[in-house]
Chain A
């Protein structure tokens, strides 16, 4: 098939659909997961995102994009949202939204920052803060499908209280000898913290990542400075830039 044929194919619009909140899971003091029932959902790939649209009583609308945290195998669609200071949409989703509420959503969106068990490994996932969300969809998918690809999650958080999905990730790693979860805490470490300290740097990457010769598939997600630093270090360490896929959460007031 040529590219021209792709362009000529009739395409179906991604329609706005109603999502109903079934449950809200408190992940951290500023992060919630919205468990959504979306009757018309067409399915998605781990790593994709959705657009959501909120409408105020006076007709004012706001749209934002949020990564999908649930694997395609799950019945409910889960979005994990971090409250951004002064963010009108994220504040609403984290503080105001309750089970039973509805809002509009469309997707899935994005087809590049995705991984499925068919793509195999080794898989190297590197997250900063809420950048862990699309990577969690990949890990959950891998687990639901009994994937054995050697996998590393390198996850940087500010403090222990900021670690999202902590219990689930610990349990996942305990069950699966092919999965390694390495946490690093940048600002505050509890007494007796056995994990890493400080930001992800070149030395940490060199020590923890699968070596370049193994050709790992690398996904980096976090704030812009985080992704710029980490992906820059990876290139310097000799990883093929084409194997490094990035997703950046801009400081965009969401």
Chain B
């Protein structure tokens, strides 16, 4: 499966075509929103379609689960893992990889730094906006964290540099967050929702360096949201805009059956986990 969003073509446009690129971007956003809405409806219909069947079978399933004590031993299966990862480092159902797999729902947008901006919004109003040079001039923080993808891989001790949400709020003159939730909006139309409590106090940042180098486009560069204590789809690639919201709303994967919050330690992979 894929983790990060729909793409658009506007970013690759040269400066002289900027207004056209904006129009294209708006056009794509609108189309994306329409599509997201209709797919959310589809999902609901699809899920409710099977409801009766699930309900009727639930009883049978429960009995079965009791008799097998909840798990089934897979004949002949054993661990082949060499490395010993301390249990407190690895959430349930995860395994350690040294690769950095890429998961995206569409093509990787190629973004020119000259066209890049990042904005903070409260609802529809602008709180602050930076171009690349201005963003680079904000206070920089470096953190080392383990990251956990919902597709089961975890990567330990990854180092990221960027601007924390605390510093972003300070930069727009706010002493505290203006609303309890955010929606991150990305190039390509991808979105994800995060409670603000999971971003402040040094928990989240807009990151522009991975292991000391610019983040490669396939991994979300130039800038990605980083919320390392949640499943990694929350750390949205190609982030361009963070919108504070009074009410929580599901983002892209959250509308396709993935968990609304995504705590790896509680194994909140999918709806209802």
Contacts and interface: CB of A to CB of B under 8 A. Distances in A.
Contact of B107 (A17, A111, A235): A235
B77 A55 contact: yes
Given A54-B74, A102-B72, A250-B102, A241 B41 contact: no
B1 A247 contact: yes
A9 B255 contact: no
A148 B194 CA distance: 43
A211 interface: no
Interface stretch (B92-100, B159-167, B171-179): B92-100
B106 A241 contact: yes
Interface residues of A, number: 66
Contacts of A45: 46
Contact of A17 (B61, B81, B188, B249): B61
B35 A248 contact: no
A246 B190 CA distance: 13
Given A63-B152, A246-B105, A252-B97, A3 B1 contact: no
Contact of B57 (A40, A64, A228): A40
Contact of A60 (B50, B79, B271, B272): B79
A154 B64 CA distance: 44
B60 A40 contact: yes
A198 interface: no
Interface residues of B, number: 76
Contacts of B124: none
Contacts, number: 201
Interface of B: prevailing SS: loop
B104 interface: yes
B139 interface: no
Interface of B: 1-2, 6-9, 12, 28, 31-32, 35, 37, 39-44, 46-47, 49-51, 53-54, 57, 60-61, 64, 68, 71-81, 93, 95, 97, 99, 101-110, 151-153, 188-189, 218, 247-250, 252, 254-257, 260, 269-273
Interface of A: 1, 3-4, 6-7, 9, 11-15, 17-18, 39-40, 42-43, 45, 49, 51, 53-58, 60-65, 86, 88, 91-92, 96-97, 101-104, 109-113, 224, 228, 231-232, 234-235, 240-242, 244-248, 250-254
9 contacts: A14-B257, A14-B272, A40-B60, A42-B54, A55-B74, A56-B74, A101-B74, A104-B71, A248-B102
